[in-house]
Every structure is written in structure tokens, then in C-alpha cells.
Structure 1
């Protein structure tokens, strides 16, 4: 075939791969006399012309930003050019095999080798997230292992940036491989660092088990299972089981962070190989490779020291429900109907002193509602009106939600027609006739939000306000000027188990807001990710 010359410099030599977003060529840089990889961006045919053009422009912008990454576990981007009405990304050429090719030819990898690869990819993701870049397409095809053992993450063609547009087109539509797309991204079409970590978990699961965690016959069957079922049982993971379980949590709030996953991967990388169970099914091709030897140099494939966790504003959307609306399989779309909306709780008042000690009370009846807005709405409560989205809104809300701008100095997503009122410094939104509540409280900034929630936990369990208390999580969040989330469950006065997530965010040196979300425990799973949309939408206005 005739070798095309791109941008007067890059001569295409061999087609080395194709995918849903384009073709990758091995090319020769005629100016510097070196081999490079050149990716031609080919938008899917089903996209409208306006969307195709938007994708081309976004690809160029995002690739240029991704070129800032300088990390040994990231394929370097050299250039972005426009030729023959298509954008082309010029990248480092790495003579290697993808993890996908390794699984297909050699069978599943050993847990230790998989963990070493995972450390390298995790280091790449942390570098990208620190630079504000999300990958959005981590999968075995995009993880390359060179002959000398170097592991690199490639193909940032779907990459986006924190603070940028959340979705490619309308709500619920995403691009990517359904076997390696995080549940919240398949559901809502938006991403944050936690979606990349889920995809990392799915990639490592596939490497060690020989198939992805949701191996189904079609994209739609895969996405349906992803929305409602746990991952397939692990048979070969051994010491990788804890980190895979933590990364593959459906609820992004319960998913392992990069900092939490790294020591688990390091432990798995040095663990002795487990005994091979003769009853286990063989890997692809009929060969069990539980103790497969590493290629030359692969024993040294460890991630370099990781950068500190990125201070990112996650782009997480909303919309969790109980049925899946199936769309184009190429679009990899899952849009869940809005069945119920989880609610939030806010603090009733400023705490004057940090409490001490105390354990959970045994009484089945709390003496009073521990948080604001949990009692019946007052007569003065008014319905939340539907209003147009504000200028600069980064994403669309799910049906039945609107934007509320509050005199207390914030804007947030809220359900239309829910009852709205204030209690002191708390803005309350309550479902008419229901138990679900969303609330926002303004307060002074907290020096350490995590310690603040720990103190509140001791106070409320110590005075009997939270009978049957169960902590899910108290952890710091990189948001605004620092924050922390407290998620827990308890029994209300009627003996019903409740569930809440409460985010305390310092928005300035002297001001903070607590965004809270409450629902019955039975309804939490179908409501929890609305809290992610609410948190994503929350914006101080003063």
C-alpha cells in the first residue's frame, strides 16, 4: 500500500490497532528519524455531524493537555496535528504486547505479576489525576508491557479534565468498552478519578481471572449486570482479592482510593504464589498460568514513588434507579430511571465544644431527631420550582431535578416540587409524604473536617441520638479548601433503619457548608448516587 505522509512529517508504515475511536499506526518521523505511534481519530458513524465536530475539537484540546504528562508509566504524546479532515495524535511508540494480548496468548497472569502491572498503571493514573486529566478508558487493551518489563498506560483519546464538560452528548451516553466502564459512568455518562480506579480494578480482574468481572454475551447484558449484580466470583485472585473487591465497589463512595489501593497492590506483588487448585478452570487456550514466569525484567516492574493524591473536583453525575433504559450498544448507554431520591441531613446547630468518649446507645428509640430537617415540614414550606439551568452549568440534571440558588450563598441541584424551608442556618428539602431529605447548612470553616466528623460521631452516639449506630465511612475529601464525608446508619424513633451521607466542605478560610443526604436503609442503594450529583452540583455563590 502507498505510505501516507501526515502533516508533511509522519509517514504511516503499519496499521497496529483499531478501536471504537480510531486507528493506530506505526509511523516514521521523517524529521527526527524515529518510529512513532500515530492515532487517527475517527468518530463513530452514529454520531451526528455536530457531535463529530465537537469530538474532533475536544480531542485536540484534551490531547494537548495530556501531553503535559511526563511519567515513565504513561505513553508520551509528542504532537497533535490536523490532516485529511481528521485530528491525529502522535505518540511514543512502545514495542510491546498489551495485557489483552497477553491474556489471549498466555492465559491469566499470576496475582503477583498482575499486582506489579497494577502498581505501574496506578502510578500513571495518579500522575494524570494530579495534572487534572482523567483517562476514562482504562482496559487491558490500553495497558502495554514492553519486553524489558516497562508498563505503560496508553490511549488517552477518551481523556477529559476535571472541571470540563461532563458528558460527550446528552445525559447517559458514554463512549468506551462496556466490560471496563464504571457503574456510575455507564449509568450517567460522567467521570471522576474514582471511575478510572474502577476500570483499573476491572482490568486487573481480567488479567488474573482471564475474563472481565462482568463477562456477558452482549454489551447490553454486560451493562444490565453491571447495574444490578455483584462481580463474578474470583477463583484465581488470591492475595489480589482485597484490592479487587475494594476497587470494584459499585458505590464510588465506598471504593478504594489510589492511596488505599497502593499498599494492597504492593503486598500482593510480594506475596508467595498460591497453590494451584486443579479443579479451577484453565485459562484461555486450555492452559493454567497461575505461576507463569514473568518476562525479562518484569520482576522490577514496580511503580515509582506516587505523587500525593490530586486535589480534584470530581465530575460525578446523578440518576440511579431500578430499571435500565437500553440504547445503542455502540454508545454503551445505561440510563436509569429516577425511582427514589436519597436525602441528606445537616447539622442542627454550631457545636461549641468537641465531645469526648461515648459508645452507641442501646435504646431503640432516639430522644430527638439528631439532624435538622428530619421532622415534618412546617406549614410555611413551599414547593421547589423548576427553573432554567444557570449559565455555565457543566452537565444536565436528570429529569425531575432543577437548579436551586439559595440566599445563604450556594447553588445546588434539588428535586422539583419537594418542600423547601429553612431552620436557622439550614436549608431543607423534603420529599412530600416521604422520609427522604436533602439539606445544606452554612457554618464556620473547620480546621480538620475529618476530626470534626469523628467528634460529632462521639457526641451523637454518646448521648443516645443514634441508636443502632453503624459507621460506613469517615474520610477526607479533596474538595474546595478541604472537606470530609461521614456516611452512617442508625435506627429512627419508629425503629426503621436510616442511612445518610454528610459532606462538610470548607469553601474558604472562614466558611464551610454541610451538604447532607438521608434515606431509609432499604432505599439507599437506589438513591446513593444522587448524592454524588448533588455534591457535584454544589457551588458557593458568595
Structure 2
């Protein structure tokens, strides 16, 4: 194989590493005269021809998406070659050792150095998540550290496009058991928070010398992840609260990429993470078992003072209720929603599902433990295309939808009820009444009907196609950048007919940065206009939409503003 010329330009020189997912070669790009690294992707044995073809196409598709990432903490993907019936990923050649090699040779790192490495990797993950790419296998072996302590995250070639279920095939879940998040071990799809858990486990290993739930075999590791608390770190010092925030069992309360990056920067510079990790006790390195600090009801004030306005002026001729919008395939932040936080007293019941899951994984773990990679058959939960595959709409952000498709079987709204009436505090603008959903409160027009579907709660006007929607599908990153990516994907997808962006503006929800995207699209009853506010608060991400018939927008613009400004993350649910 040495000396082989790929695609007429890449000369393979020597093997620099092998793993369960393939072989990494040092090669020479003879066209540009530079050294590169080339990963020869090896597909799992035992797949049918159709499954292999699907995996092959998906690997190429995901690698091309990874090539769009541009961040100093990401190994640059230069090219993807399809040759010899297998994919070859051409990457930047980084002259560095892996973090795993550094730990094996020199032992645990000081907290400040581990934090500096973690800061760079958190930034890389944040950039990837903003592009809709999940890594799924963050671990010390995939973190390269150069002599100047530049840290880069490699192996994005096995990353997953968030929400992509079209080429899943067998629904195999790939990753290293010791660094898998609890929700993934429980069979749920990967989300951005899963990568953040893996970063926490990687940094835990950097200071403690081994992964948080180190055990003798893969099955024992998986059982410990879902049933045992993370042992308190002994050597992490000021890094301990950040580790606790990253290794939070509930993904909805786990540190997000931007907060983790800020907290790690503080520790790396010799400061503490005080005030940067919600609910953290900096003396013990643990997080409180309550809602994140500052996320209590009413703790986030409105972005602007509310202006009293008359109730929504409904279009007189729109007498038939319009069905609430459905999910939009192909939009950004289509990360599969995580499981709802466990209600008090149900921890034991929730954990009881581990037994059959682990039993089903035992055979695979025995076969693959030597390779250190677990291929988890999660059936249709991966969104495969087989005859038993479940609908993939739960993996799509519902912000917003065409609104022209009736509710499909299995996705019926919760019993439609009018929004709460009355405002005992008298704090909402005229025409609005208080309403509540999972983790938030909001003011909605009086008389609008409440329903729920997937990760979204809707309030629809019985007399027109207008609606308010709060979507809780997880996403991460800067809200403004989030909408830029969303806009490109929504326009390319075509489900929002005649989509046209009007503006994207930065705003705030209390102390949290937020952004509004305003746009129009055509529904069955004509042109619709919407304003969609994205914000991450209290460890949760939200998209708050107000949509009206475009012809009625100007006379109701103050109402749109009031509804958005009354949105409060409450830390409840």
C-alpha cells in the first residue's frame, strides 16, 4: 500500500496510526507540495451490501460537512476521496502527540494546563455544533497537543450531521464507552450536550489519570455511567466545578459550549470559575441538585419594557383554525431532543431500563472490547430507513414549520386548552395572559388555544393562522450565528415556500445574548411573517416564534414584540 497514489495526487508514505475506524497514513500532496494525513475509513464487518453502501455514502457526506469547519481547534479536512470502494479523508497533518500519549508518558496534567487544552476543544465543539455537526467520539486519543500547547480535535471524519437520519442504515452508534454520555448509553441519539459530557470526561482523565467511570470491561463501564455518580476529582483543584458542570447527568442542565469555554478560560488564566458554572459549589466542585442559579421563575427580566396594545386583530375571513406548524427538515440545530429531566422520586424507575439495554449490548461489548470501540445496535431509534424505522420528525427543530400539514398519527397535540386567563400580578401588557411550558413562562393573546407536539408548545389563534410557538429542541453556540446557519438550510430545504429573510438582529433576554430572525414564507392561506427569538438560558436553548398573516403584521407589530419580551426561562420542567 505504501507508495500508492490516490486520486492522482496523494502519495501514501507510511502508517502513523490504526484504530477500529480505520488507518491513518502520512502522505504527500504532490499537486500542492505539502504533507497531509489521510484516514482510510474502514466500515464495520457484517454489514449487507446495501448497508455498506449507505454507510459509505453517509461517511462521505459527513466528511464533506466536516470540511466546512474552520476553527484553529479543529484538524482541517482538505479533501474527501472515494476510491477502491471506500472513503479516504485527507486532513491537515498536525505534528503533535495525542493527549492520551501525553498522559501515558507523563501522568496527569496540572489543572491550568488541562483547562487551556479544554478551552480550545470547547471552542472547536462550539464551532462544529453551530454548523450542525456532532463529533460523537471526544476522548484523549482524539485530542492532539502540539509543543506550543495548541490543541486540536481530530477524527471529525466519523462525526454525525445533527438530525441526519437519511443514511443511518443499521443505526449503529459509534464511540468509546468510557467517554459516552449517559443519554447515549441509554440508547438516545447524540446531541451537542453529549459531546460536552465527553469533553468533561476527557478533562477529568487529564487531571486524574483515568476516565470518570474507569472499569475493567466495557459493560461495567456502561453500567457505571448510567447508575453511578462521578467520583469527585482529587487533583482538579479550581477545575473541579467545571468538570462537575460538564459531567451533569441531565443534559438540559449540562454546561453548554460557550459557558464551558468561558469557565475553562478563567481557570487556565489562574482564576476560579466562580459565577461561570450555574449551581456550582466552588469549594466542593459539585453542582447543586436544583435548577441552575439565576434560572428561577421571573429571574430573567424582559428584554425591553412591554408596551400595552389591543388584542391581536385577526383576519376577519380566516374563520377556520389553522393547524400548527410541523417540523422543518434540514434546518440548523436539528439535534434530537434529549429526554425530559426526571421528576423527583422517579430516579429508580428511570434507571431500571438499564438492565435490558446492557443485556443487549453484552455480546457486542465482548466482541469489541479489545478495540475499545462499542458499536451499539440501537434499532430504529437512530432514525434508520428500514421497515421498522420510527418517524424522524422528533429529530427536527420545529422552528417554524409550513403549517399546512395536518397533525399526523402519533404526533397529536396535547388536549387543546385555552391559555390561562387573568393576570393576578397585572404585569403583562393588555390583551396578554400568562402561560407556561417546560422551563419557561410567556404572555400569549387571550383566548388562543394551547397544544404541544414534540419539543414544542403552541398557542394558536382560533380565528386565523396566527400562532405563538416555543421550541425546546437543543442547540448551542452564538444565537446570531445560529440563525445565519438556519437561514441557509431553511432556504435550501424548500419546505418554507418562498422563504425570504427580512432581518437578523442581536438582542438579549435578561443577561443572556439572544438574536431575532424575521422572515416571510408562503402557506396555503397566503404570505406569513414571523419573528423568531433564539436564546440559551439556564442551560437550555429556546426558539420563540410569533407568526401572523403578513397583511396583518404592521398593525400587530407591538403585540409581536410584547409576546417575545414576556418570555422568561423559569427553570421549571
Q: Normalising by structure 2, what TM-score? A: 0.57
How far is the alpha carbon of 1:31 from its aligned partner? 2.6
Alignment pair present for 1:185 and 2:236: no
Does the 8 Å CA contact 2:2/2:13 hold for their aligned counterparts? no
Distance in 2 (alpha carbons) for counterparts of 1:271 and 1:112: 7
Among 324, 329, 333, the alignment partner of 1:312 is: 333
Cα 1:245/1:479, change in 2 over 3 Å:
farther
How far is the alpha carbon of 1:316 from its aligned partner? 3.0
Name the SS for the 2:165 alignment partner. Answer: coil
Does the 8 Å CA contact 1:178/1:332 hold for their aligned counterparts? no
Cα 1:208/1:10, change in 2 over 3 Å:
same
Aligned residue runs from structure 1 range 28-39, under 5 A: 28-39=28-39
Aligned residue runs from structure 1 range 209-288, under 5 A: 209-271=208-270
Distance in 2 (alpha carbons) for counterparts of 1:265 and 1:94: 23
How far is the alpha carbon of 1:191 from its aligned partner? 2.3
Alignment RMSD (CA, Å): 4.6
How far is the alpha carbon of 1:70 from its aligned partner? 2.2
Does the 8 Å CA contact 1:11/1:29 hold for their aligned counterparts? yes
Does the 8 Å CA contact 1:167/1:190 hold for their aligned counterparts? no
How far is the alpha carbon of 1:22 from its aligned partner? 1.0
Alignment match, 1:505? 544
Distance in 2 (alpha carbons) for counterparts of 1:152 and 1:188: 29
Name the SS for the 1:104 alignment partner. Answer: helix
Distance in 2 (alpha carbons) for counterparts of 1:414 and 1:474: 38
Distance in 1 (alpha carbons) for counterparts of 2:47 and 2:246: 32
Distance in 1 (alpha carbons) for counterparts of 2:514 and 2:226: 26
Distance in 1 (alpha carbons) for counterparts of 2:69 and 2:332: 16
Cα 1:410/1:388, change in 2 over 3 Å:
farther
Alignment match, 2:353? 323
How far is the alpha carbon of 1:190 from its aligned partner? 1.8
Q: Deviations over 1:41-92 (max 9, x none)?
A: 1011143432222121111111112112222221111111122211100111
Distance in 2 (alpha carbons) for counterparts of 1:90 and 1:118: 25
Alignment pair present for 1:4 and 2:25: no
Name the SS for the 2:214 alignment partner. Answer: coil
Among 533, 539, 549, the alignment partner of 1:482 is: 533
Does the 8 Å CA contact 1:313/1:478 hold for their aligned counterparts? no
Name the SS for the 1:26 alignment partner. Answer: strand
Alignment pair present for 1:122 and 2:143: no
Q: Deviations over 1:474-531 (max 9, x none)?
A: 978889822568999xxxxxxxxxxxx996731647788999xxxxxxxx9xxx8xxx
Cα 1:71/1:413, change in 2 over 3 Å:
farther
Distance in 2 (alpha carbons) for counterparts of 1:486 and 1:263: 15
Does the 8 Å CA contact 1:72/1:152 hold for their aligned counterparts? yes
Alignment match, 1:78? 78
Moved more, 12-21 or 249-258: 12-21
Alignment match, 1:148? 148
Name the SS for the 1:91 alignment partner. Answer: strand
Does the 8 Å CA contact 1:180/1:212 hold for their aligned counterparts? yes
Alignment pair present for 1:161 and 2:191: no
Distance in 1 (alpha carbons) for counterparts of 2:35 and 2:541: 52
Aligned residue runs from structure 1 range 53-68, under 5 A: 53-68=53-68
Does the 8 Å CA contact 1:17/1:25 hold for their aligned counterparts? yes
Name the SS for the 1:47 alignment partner. Answer: coil
Name the SS for the 1:89 alignment partner. Answer: strand
Moved more, 406-415 or 25-34: 406-415
Distance in 2 (alpha carbons) for counterparts of 1:485 and 1:131: 17
Alignment pair present for 1:92 and 2:92: yes
Distance in 1 (alpha carbons) for counterparts of 2:191 and 2:149: 29
Does the 8 Å CA contact 1:24/1:38 hold for their aligned counterparts? yes
Alignment match, 1:538? none
Alignment match, 2:376? 333
Cα 1:410/1:193, change in 2 over 3 Å:
farther
Q: Deviations over 1:110-167 (max 9, x none)?
A: 1010011011111212222222222222111111011232211111022122342288
Cα 1:27/1:429, change in 2 over 3 Å:
closer
Does the 8 Å CA contact 2:73/2:121 hold for their aligned counterparts? yes
Name the SS for the 1:333 alignment partner. Answer: strand
Name the SS for the 2:184 alignment partner. Answer: helix
Alignment match, 1:297? none
Distance in 2 (alpha carbons) for counterparts of 1:247 and 1:80: 33
Does the 8 Å CA contact 2:3/2:13 hold for their aligned counterparts? yes
**Unpaired runs of at least 5, structure 2:** 273-330, 341-349, 369-373, 382-387, 419-446, 473-509, 518-531, 554-559
Alignment match, 1:518? none
Cα 1:166/1:207, change in 2 over 3 Å:
farther
Name the SS for the 2:173 alignment partner. Answer: coil
For these two proteins, the number of residue pairs brought into alignment is: 384
Q: Deviations over 1:217-262 (max 9, x none)?
A: 2222211221222112211111111111111111111011122112
How far is the alpha carbon of 1:406 from its aligned partner? 13
Cα 1:95/1:483, change in 2 over 3 Å:
closer
